[in-house]
């Protein structure tokens, strides 16, 4: 009897762990939020972490623990079932060298991921696919810098998908205070890989992800848990001491568990040996990247003899954004590793020129409107929506 009670308790405990993360039941002592450490503590912690690996095999043991804990902490153990995406793709707009369509797909029955698909015109053969999550800036996927980078990379020869964070843009089924956002957004990103690789003409071996700030968090979390991401570019986010200030970045226990402590530097390093560029600036928590985070991650790449596949572009006089110089860094890196054509966006002097891109008003980028309302099966309300994302 006692054995039964013990085993029942342990099953319940495991369920509680995997379900974790049930709504309203997150243990705050397991969270590392915002500036959880000082810069000095962040550096010291990296030195501590480094003692647990010295080569590829020992790093991969550590990496597997980190990866498993992201999934467990995010309540994605077990993974929800991959149900039909039921994609909606419409309102094609033909632009200068690319097209833009309005898109929705069902990441879980009753939850619709909303976004825009930018495709190159006149291409032969298979092309790369690039996911573009956005950060916590007003207007999310509709803002100019998002449209510029998606359009430029499409004209360079990639199929590019920009998608709303939960609670932003058209994603209004839940707000952006939902305590299970890490789970929901990570799952939506995994399904975005399913969506983009399902499109005719997309090369499933050349899938990339890039985003800035909270979009950077989504980028390195996805690269860590989904090996289909071949190339990544987290912008102005990877830091030893800062864990992301929003519930969608640090609101679930993905950095800490009994017997494990990690940070976003190690999570980003889980991309090794796949090509990655880290873009940083002088005005936020990435200010130390050339001296702290980048050498640390490069050392992990050296375990794979892949030091040349990780780069850092540090813009000491710049701020926290995904502005033109950051976009240029990523365009060059993606051209090198995905086979994009920089020449298609260069002017006659060989400089990249985005002036061919016409900014589209958000009304024309919206997939749902009076004429095409969101499907009737869509759940609404934070708790009801979170409940859709449970495991099998």
In Å, how far are 110, 152, 155, 332, 353 from 349, measured between CA atoms? Answer: 50, 17, 18, 17, 10
Nearer to Zn ion, 115 or 128 (CB): 115
CB of 167 to Zn ion, least distance (A): 8
Question: Smallest Cα–Cα separation from 279: which of 227, 240, 239?
Answer: 239
Backbone conformation region of residue 348, classed left if phi is above 0, alpha if psi is from -120 to 50, else beta: alpha
Nearer to Zn ion, 248 or 277 (CB): 248
Nearer to Zn ion, 108 or 176 (CB): 176
CB of 309 to Zn ion, least distance (A): 29
- Kindly state the tokens that stand for 124: 């032969």
CB of 137 to Zn ion, least distance (A): 11
CB of 75 to Zn ion, least distance (A): 17
Residues 112-171 that bind Zn ion (CB under 5 A): none
In Å, how far are 116, 163, 272, 278, 316 from 195, measured between CA atoms? Answer: 12, 11, 24, 26, 37
Distance CA 230, CA 84 (A): 24
Residues 220-259 that bind Zn ion (CB under 5 A): 246, 248
Three-class DSSP category at 101: strand
Nearer to Zn ion, 218 or 280 (CB): 218
Instruction: Based on the shown chain and the rule CB under 5 A, indicate whether residue 46 belongs to the binding site for Zn ion.
Output: no
Residues 363-392 that bind Zn ion (CB under 5 A): none
Place of tokens 């010295």: 54
Residue 105 · residue 195 · CB < 8 Å: yes
CB of 39 to Zn ion, least distance (A): 23
Nearer to Zn ion, 151 or 184 (CB): 184
CB of 136 to Zn ion, least distance (A): 5
Nearer to Zn ion, 97 or 214 (CB): 214
Three-class DSSP category at 12: helix
Binding string to Zn ion for residues 204 to 223, with x set by CB under 5 A, is what? ----------x---------
Site residues for Zn ion per CB under 5 A: 214, 246, 248
């Amino acid at each position: 009897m006692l054995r039964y009670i013990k085993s029942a308790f342990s099953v319940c405990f495991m369920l509680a762990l995997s379900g974790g993360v049930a709504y309203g039941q997150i243990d705050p002592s397991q969270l590392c939020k915002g500036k959880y450490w000082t810069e000095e503590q962040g550096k010291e912690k990296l030195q501590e972490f480094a003692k647990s690996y010295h080569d590829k095999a020992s790093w991969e043991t550590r990496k597997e623990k980190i990866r498993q804990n992201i999934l467990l902490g995010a309540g994605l153990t077990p993974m929800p079932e991959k149900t039909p995406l039921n994609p909606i793709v419409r309102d094609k707009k033909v632009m200068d060298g690319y097209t833009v369509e309005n898109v929705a797909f069902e990441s879980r029955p009753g939850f619709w991921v909303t976004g825009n698909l930018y495709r190159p015109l006149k291409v032969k053969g298979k092309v790369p696919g690039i996911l573009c999550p956005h950060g916590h800036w007003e207007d999310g996927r509709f803002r100019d810098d998002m449209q510029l980078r998606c359009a430029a990379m499409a004209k360079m020869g990639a199929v590019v998908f920009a998608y709303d964070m939960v609670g932003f843009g058209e994603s209004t089924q839940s707000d952006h205070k939902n305590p299970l956002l890490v789970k929901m957004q990570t799952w939506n990103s995994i399904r975005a890989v399913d969506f983009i690789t399902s499109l005719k003409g997309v090369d499933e071996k050349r899938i990339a992800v890039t985003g800035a700030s909270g979009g950077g968090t989504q980028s390195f979390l996805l690269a860590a848990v989904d090996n289909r991401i071949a190339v990544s570019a987290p912008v102005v986010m990877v830091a030893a001491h800062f864990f992301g200030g929003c519930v969608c970045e640090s609101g679930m226990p993905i950095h800490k568990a009994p017997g494990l402590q990690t940070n976003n530097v190690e999570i980003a390093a889980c991309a090794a040996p796949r090509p990655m560029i880290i873009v940083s600036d002088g005005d936020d928590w990435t200010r130390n990247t050339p001296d702290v985070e980048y050498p640390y991650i490069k050392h992990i790449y050296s375990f794979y003899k892949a030091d040349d596949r990780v780069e850092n572009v540090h813009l000491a006089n710049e701020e926290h954004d995904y502005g033109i110089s950051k976009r240029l860094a990523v365009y060059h890196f993606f051209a090198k590793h995905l086979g994009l054509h920089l020449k298609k966006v260069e002017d006659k002097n060989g400089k990249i020129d985005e002036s061919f891109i016409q900014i589209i008003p958000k009304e024309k980028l919206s997939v749902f409107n009076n004429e095409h309302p969101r499907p009737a099966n869509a759940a609404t309300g934070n708790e009801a929506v979170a409940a859709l994302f449970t495991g099998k």
